[in-house]
Structure 1
Amino acid sequence: MPIDISGFSFLRAAIVLPALAWLISAAAVWLSIRYAHARRLIDQPGQRRSHTIPTPRGGGIGIVIAVLLCFCLPMLFSSQQSSRIFGCSVAIALVMVATIGWIDDHRPLSARFRIVVHFLAALVLLILPLLFMPKTAPAGGFDFDMTLALIAACLIAILATLIVWSINLHNFMDGINGLLACQAIFVFVALALACVSAGRTAVAWQLFVLAAATLGFLPFNFPRARIFMGDVGSGALGLLIAIALWLAAGSAHLAPFTGVIACSAFVTDATCTLLSRMLRGRRWYSAHREHLYQWMARTGMSHARVVACYMAWNICVVAPLVLWVNRPPSMSHGYANATDNLGVAALRDVEILQQLNDPGQIEAVIVYALAIALWIFGKRWCLHKMKSSQHRHATA
């Protein structure tokens, strides 16, 4: 859905809003540290945790406040009704997810109750724009089609499930210093740059606002954690990343699989870990330390090194593929021009291949195949290293 920021000049959208989001986020995180110490919201080290010293939690509230003020509020003052409705739906869904996370940071809630609230937030995000969308009646009057209604309901259910999975996926991946914040910043910036190349500057600068809000939290959590994001921040970022993918997918001249490729690191780790636990009969919804990043930390790698490994994947593999699938049309037609001397049949084959590959689905399959292979290799390497380390200690 396009976002209108006509109430702001381009300079304000490009510079002032991201800078303001960063400042608000950083100030709110600083205040949340004092609040956490006063209320004793402290994460203690434990067997299923990756930190070794008591650390306050709940710093993600700074990201939520900055997004509400610098992402949602400008849309509420937009001249376009669709933008106002979308901004309202984002704000309500974000407040719902952040509130349930904030409560859970203070006193643990059941996983089932959190999931229900996440689904309700996803439904608000999806259905509210449809309810207030301007309706145009057909010339012959309104004709209710049960088939179309069922298809729409199924589509909404699928999208809501994906949004809920994004919320919980990013909550699962928030286990070491800086990992989730760095991943979120990369996804927001990658999608924003892709939108700029596609001429969608309004959407791009809104994504830069999300990146700036997350960046305001990062210095307090990486490389040394003065505060953890908490469920209030990890759930909110999972929702915001799902919204960012939605905005990117709805942008013209942007490959539909851009967002899927950009999120490959976290999607692969969380999904493979979940499937592995389910296949082994484990309680997949309970706390654990079986994600690849957690195994890497357990081998003795510092949090900074683990984050560097994930960012290396993003920069060396994901970023080039995002640029490739969104390359200018002139580059896409280079292959066809090179086959002019091969005849009409060869040219037709090349054009068919281009049409199949334009949205980037082939690249998405390749990047996820590589990510799964790397996840399996990394898991085996971690297990081998830990066994070797235990053997050396036993024989020492």
Structure 2
Amino acid sequence: MSDAIVASFASMTLTVLFAFFIALGVVRAAIAYAHRRGMLDQPGQRRSHKIPTPRGGGIGIIVSVLLTVPACLLYLRPAWHFYVIITLMLAVALVAWIGWWDDHSSLSALPRFGVQILAAALFSAALLIDGLSWFWLPLLILAGAWSINLHNFMDGIDGLLAQQGIFVAAGLAVLAWLAGQHALGGASACLAAACLGFWCYNRSPARIFMGDVGSGSIGLLVFALTAMLWQVNWLWLWPALILSSAFVTDATLTLLARMLGGRRWYTAHREHLYQWIVRRGHTHTVGAGWYVGWNLLVAAPLAVLAWEIPGMGLLTCIVTYAMAAAIWLMAKRHMLRRDRYKARHVHT
């Protein structure tokens, strides 16, 4: 291993440690702030928690990311263009700002979605300046907006989104480092460390919830880091997408099921798979454990396969999502059958 690589790894490790401790400290302060401001999520029919819990802890992730990710992208090698770094941080700040506002006083969907589209468009445009076809711009904007919202949808039980952020960002960091993209690897590792710092207070039983300030921003960052890998080499897109398969599948199929069922898909609900698991009497830890199992036993090995055999990347990605969809359908049908069985016994 060359001296340059050793120096890069040492710098990255130090920055990642800073990211963890910054998030840890800011989240601790956010708990006190939320109590003072009355930012408490109350239990309800469409919520999975049973006691009032502070929200807005995702601000710790945002502060950590804004302070550490630019340093990695700028000073590690190969460094990214300044305009890409600036637009990425601006996009994160925009999504975090509208989420922080929503955490304090609920906003309608239109202004939130407008800011999300603007943030995704700014970053996507900056990424395409380096010579990629502008044909990709609407697709990137759509992908960015969906990633922001699906991560928001999946933030519903203790520890789930934080642990997913750790897994996906750590996986992206490994992929980038193996590809020699040390700057991108360091940035991804900082996001993983920031999510870990938040998870320490969000694991079950949660002392604070992430809030929209964090969930939407993680969605944007997962999209951005994945898109940056794709921009360097399009073959790296497939293992990156495999890492996100659990959340993308659950959020997408749940949304489609609600739309096809004629329900108001844009309203709050408890129909994601993780919510069904908790509704069946399992703990939040067990619910989150289902996703850990998928990530470690299926997503990680298949992402390695897609990385090691680039020509099989697309096929491996398709197989991964097909498996995830099949498991999602089987699990939902099993739980619905149990509901009907219980209902018949209650009436008899």
Does TM, scored on the shorter chain, surpass 0.5?
yes
Q: Say if 2:39 is the partner of 1:41.
A: yes
Equivalent-residue separation in structure 2 for 1:71 and 1:262 (angstroms): 20
Equivalent-residue separation in structure 2 for 1:19 and 1:324 (angstroms): 30
Q: Say if 2:293 is the partner of 1:312.
A: yes
Partner residue, 2:219 = 238
| Residues 305-333 of structure 1: CA deviation (Å, up to 9, x unaligned) | 01111110111111111111112xxxx5x
Partner residue, 1:223 = 204
The amino acid across from 2:224 in the alignment is: I
Correspondences of 1:208-357 after superposition (within 5 Å): 208-252=189-233, 255-327=236-308
Match of 1:106 among 104, 114, 128: 104
Alpha carbons of structure 1 residues 9 and 116: separation in structure 2 relative to 1, 3 Å: same
Which has the larger displacement, 303-312 or 203-212? 203-212
TM-score, with structure 2 as normaliser: 0.92
User: 1:42 Cα deviation (Å)?
Assistant: 0.2
Q: Say if 2:170 is the partner of 1:189.
A: yes
CA contact (8 A) 1:105 1:230 kept: yes
CA RMSD of aligned residues (A): 2.3
Q: Say if 2:186 is the partner of 1:205.
A: yes
| Residues 69-92 of structure 1: CA deviation (Å, up to 9, x unaligned) | 000245457899853221111110
The amino acid across from 1:382 in the alignment is: M
The amino acid across from 1:245 in the alignment is: T
Q: Say if 2:341 is the partner of 1:376.
A: no
SS in 2 for 1:326: helix
CA contact (8 A) 1:73 1:87 kept: no
| Residues 340-369 of structure 1: CA deviation (Å, up to 9, x unaligned) | xxxxxxxxxxxxxxxxx6150111111111
Equivalent-residue separation in structure 2 for 1:206 and 1:52 (angstroms): 36
Number of aligned residue pairs: give it.
Answer: 344
Which has the larger displacement, 246-255 or 24-33? 246-255
User: 1:12 Cα deviation (Å)?
Assistant: 4.1
Equivalent-residue separation in structure 2 for 1:296 and 1:266 (angstroms): 15
User: 1:201 Cα deviation (Å)?
Assistant: 2.8
SS in 1 for 2:97: helix
User: 1:127 Cα deviation (Å)?
Assistant: 2.3
**Identity of counterpart residues, as a percentage?**
43
The amino acid across from 2:52 in the alignment is: P
Which has the larger displacement, 79-88 or 62-71? 79-88
User: 1:391 Cα deviation (Å)?
Assistant: 4.2
TM-score, with structure 1 as normaliser: 0.82
CA contact (8 A) 2:76 2:182 kept: no
| Residues 62-109 of structure 1: CA deviation (Å, up to 9, x unaligned) | 000000000024545789985322111111000100000000001111
CA contact (8 A) 1:166 1:239 kept: yes
Unaligned runs of at least 5 residues, structure 1: 1-5, 136-147, 333-356
CA contact (8 A) 1:59 1:229 kept: yes
Partner residue, 1:351 = none
Which has the larger displacement, 113-122 or 83-92? 83-92
| Residues 272-307 of structure 1: CA deviation (Å, up to 9, x unaligned) | 011111111111111111111111110111110011
Correspondences of 1:149-160 after superposition (within 5 Å): 152=134, 154-160=135-141
Alpha carbons of structure 1 residues 91 and 324: separation in structure 2 relative to 1, 3 Å: same
Correspondences of 1:89-168 after superposition (within 5 Å): 89-128=87-126, 152=134, 154-168=135-149
Partner residue, 1:53 = 51
CA contact (8 A) 1:262 1:319 kept: yes
**Structure with the larger helix share:** 2
Match of 1:387 among 322, 340, 344: 340
CA contact (8 A) 1:194 1:322 kept: no
Unaligned runs of at least 5 residues, structure 2: none
Partner residue, 2:65 = 67
The structure number with the bigger radius of gyration is 1
Alpha carbons of structure 1 residues 220 and 392: separation in structure 2 relative to 1, 3 Å: farther
Equivalent-residue separation in structure 1 for 2:347 and 2:127 (angstroms): 62
The amino acid across from 2:178 in the alignment is: S
Equivalent-residue separation in structure 2 for 1:295 and 1:324 (angstroms): 31
Partner residue, 1:169 = 150
Match of 1:88 among 86, 89, 112: 86
Equivalent-residue separation in structure 2 for 1:201 and 1:309 (angstroms): 32
Equivalent-residue separation in structure 1 for 2:241 and 2:80 (angstroms): 25
Equivalent-residue separation in structure 2 for 1:168 and 1:237 (angstroms): 10
Equivalent-residue separation in structure 2 for 1:282 and 1:77 (angstroms): 49
